[in-house]
Structure 1
Amino acid sequence: MPFDVTILAPHVPFLLKGALLTAEACALALVGSLIIGLLVAALRTSSSPLLSRAAFVYVDLFRNIPFIVQLFFFFYGLPEIGIYVDAFTTGVIALSIAGGAFSSDVIRSGILAIDTGIIEAAEVSGLSKPVIFRKIVMPIALRTSIRPLGSVFINLVLTSSILSTITLNELTGSAKIVASDTFRPFEVYAVLLIAYASLTYLVSLAIGVLHRRLNRDRMPEVA
């Protein structure tokens, strides 16, 4: 049977709707994972053994459990104890929590890489620890961590394809439906390959632009 992508023309609006749903879920999850990553990284570098240990347990737990198991727990498990959340919200929350565990490790590495002389100088200037962390430590850590964070975010976009397993008709879920309707899985999944490659390329491009903006004063070092 010859390759004929034109057979998918009637299904383009449906596939685009799935692509927009994927983009929306990923955008929200990227923000959520970054916020969680910042908070957890702050706790892991805290002087409090209790907070640091709690943050470590969270990271260790969610980095070592398959994402699909986490997703099924939130979507199928929580209703058993009376917690009901729709598929889209569940997907965003699950992606944020899983991504936050990986993001926190990257941001923590950025924090630990900061020259202690900078922090000591800020302390001598009379700045409080919360102000130093918020105004000095976090901006520097994010600036140095933006590229590795990009890899985390790209992986998050790819992982979002698993959301189709909880009845969410995002890009992969929509493609599965079209493939079963048209009996042309080769064309459908070829388009899906291109779609995900395009999404990850856009994320990579955005990270590159952001990296250059944040490091424009020291580009010869980081280029």
Structure 2
Amino acid sequence: MKMDLTVLIPHMGVLADGALLTAQISALSLIGSILMGAIIAVARTSSSSAVRRAAYIYVDLFRNIPFIVQLFFFYYGLPVIGIYIDGVTTGVIALSISAGAYASDAIRSGILAIDTGVFEAAEVSGLSKRVVFTRIVLPIALRTSIKPLGAVLVNMILTSSVLSTITVNELTGQAKIVASNTFRPFEVYVVLLVVYATLTWLLSLGVDLLHRALNRDLQQQEA
């Protein structure tokens, strides 16, 4: 069979719409996962054993259940008890909760890496624990956690392809439609492979540049 990518030209607009929806879902899910990750990371460093235990249960639970099972629970399971959520919102919620477990590891590592002198200086200055965590600890932890959080984002974009199973026409969902309409699945999925590979490579490069920019002072000190 001869590959003919020209058959996809009339459908590039549809694929672009899918890519845009993938970007929107990923951006919203990134915000949600960082918020969830920050809350869980703080809980995992809490002085309360009950809070720490609850946070560990959350992380273990969502890291050890396949994402598609979590997604089906939210989309197909919740309506049984009267909770109806549209596909895109379900995808954002599921991705945020699932990725939040991984983001919490990255943020927690950033918190534990902070010099104890920072905490001591904040304690001497009389700042409340809430102010110390929101104004000092979390900004530093997020800055040092850019690379692992970037990996969470890349994985989130790849995982978002599963949303096509709940009728969300993101990039993979639109590709399936184009493949069925054109009867040219080979060309469609070749383009899909290239798009995902290029997108994730560019994101990884951007995260690396951002990490260097935000941590330039630390790199200079080490040098």
Q: TM-score under structure 2 normalisation? A: 0.95
Give the aligned partner of residue 207 of structure 1. Answer: 207
The alpha carbon displacement at 1:221 in A equals: 5.9
Contact 1:43 1:55 in 2 (8 A): yes
Identity over aligned pairs, percent = 68
2:177, 2:4 → 1: CA distance?
18
2:41, 2:34 → 1: CA distance?
10
1:23, 1:201 → 2: CA distance?
15
Per-residue CA shift, 1:72-101, capped at 9, x if unaligned? 000000000000000010001100000101
The alpha carbon displacement at 1:212 in A equals: 2.1
Which amino acid is 1:151 matched to?
A
The alpha carbon displacement at 1:203 in A equals: 2.0
Task: Return 129-138 or 87-96, whichever deviates more.
Answer: 129-138
Contact 1:88 1:168 in 2 (8 A): yes
Structure 1: where are the runs of 5+ without partners? none
Contact 1:179 1:185 in 2 (8 A): yes
1:52, 1:68 → 2: CA distance?
27
Computed over aligned residues only, the root mean square deviation of the Cα atoms, in angstroms, reads 1.5
How many residues align? The count is 223
Give the aligned partner of residue 124 of structure 2. Answer: 124
Per-residue CA shift, 1:13-44, capped at 9, x if unaligned? 11111111111111111111111111111111
Per-residue CA shift, 1:149-197, capped at 9, x if unaligned? 1111110110000000001111001111111111111110010011111
1:146 aligns with 2:139: no
1:36 is paired with a residue whose SS is helix
Give the aligned partner of residue 80 of structure 1. Answer: 80
Give the aligned partner of residue 68 of structure 1. Answer: 68
Seen in structure 2, the aligned counterparts of structure 1 residues 221 and 68 have a Cα distance that, compared at 3 Å, is farther
Task: Return 212-221 or 74-83, whichever deviates more.
Answer: 212-221
Seen in structure 2, the aligned counterparts of structure 1 residues 222 and 163 have a Cα distance that, compared at 3 Å, is farther
Which amino acid is 2:5 matched to?
V
The alpha carbon displacement at 1:52 in A equals: 1.4
